[in-house]
Amino acid sequence: MRIVFDLGGSVVMPKEGANVEKIKEYANTFKKIKDEGHEVAIVVGGGRTAREYIGIARELGANEGFCDELGIMATRMNAMILITALGDYSIKKVPTSFEEAELILNLGKIPVMGGTHPGHTTDAVAASLAEFINADLLVIGTNVDGVYDKDPNKYEDAKKFDKMSAKQLVDLALSSSLKAGSSSVVDLLAAKIIERARLKVAVVKGTPEELLNVSKGIINGTIIEG
């Protein structure tokens, strides 16, 4: 399969700071998945690095467009860290376009992207990349084990979806931006790209174990298609 993995920046740079052993564990997981015969592409978020720099910039009076640019730089720094851990499985270049990412993929390497344009989250970048390279599967690794109708970390009665349509995902993303108590694993733009491209998506807890499981056809989360 050709698989795009969408990872939050907290994987590389969690709140408590970078964990070199954990980064190595993720890199080894992606190496295993590639060695199983899959084509792998990765998009990494900004995490703590982005939040800290954006927070400082806002206090200094920066506008949101400038803050977006800072966030993009942070995602690319995180991407470089993961590229370093991947060694010969990747190349020492963060692709800044989908064309570059596809070229690296076609060379038999693992492209690791960050952000691309102001106003676009890395969720949207991952969905767009999956569409561009005709990926068989988009895997969204999150801090929960699937898609819920509201935040399961706040609400005990939150309902998990084992399967859902892209239209349901769009509706959920829209409601999360309008109504307190709702939670969506992806933003509205990413959800709309998923719907437009008719992507098959697996939303799972973003641990190395669960990412490896997905490559073996074991999805302990939510499947989105149709």
Is 87 assigned a ligand-binding role in the annotation? no
Any known ligand binding at 75? no
pTM above threshold 0.85: yes
Residue 90 annotated in ligand binding: no
Tell me: is residue 111 an annotated ligand-binding position. Answer: no
157 is in an annotated binding site: no
Asked if residue 134 belongs to a known ligand binding site, the reply is: no
User: Would the annotation count 119 as a binding residue?
Assistant: yes
Q: Is 187 annotated as a binding residue?
A: no
Please check the confidence at residue 94 and state whether its pLDDT lies above 60: yes
Q: Is 121 annotated as a binding residue?
A: yes
38 is in an annotated binding site: no
The upper half-sphere exposure of residue 58, i.e. CA atoms within 13 Å in the direction of its Cβ, equals 10
pLDDT at 187: 87
Predicted local confidence at residue 177, as pLDDT? 60
CA 204 to chain centre: 11
Q: Is 136 annotated as a binding residue?
A: no
**Position 180 confidence tier, pLDDT thresholds 50, 70, 90:** very low
H helices present in 12-97, as ranges: 20-35, 47-59, 64-86
Domain borders along the chain are: 2-224
The answer, yes or no, to whether residue 55 has pLDDT greater than 90, is: yes
Domain at 2-224, CATH homologous superfamily? Acetylglutamate kinase-like (3.40.1160.10)
Cα(201)–Cα(138) distance, integer angstroms: 5
pLDDT at 149: 86
Find out whether 68 is annotated in a ligand binding site: yes
Q: Is the pLDDT of residue 74 over 50?
A: yes
Q: What is the pLDDT of residue 181?
A: 36
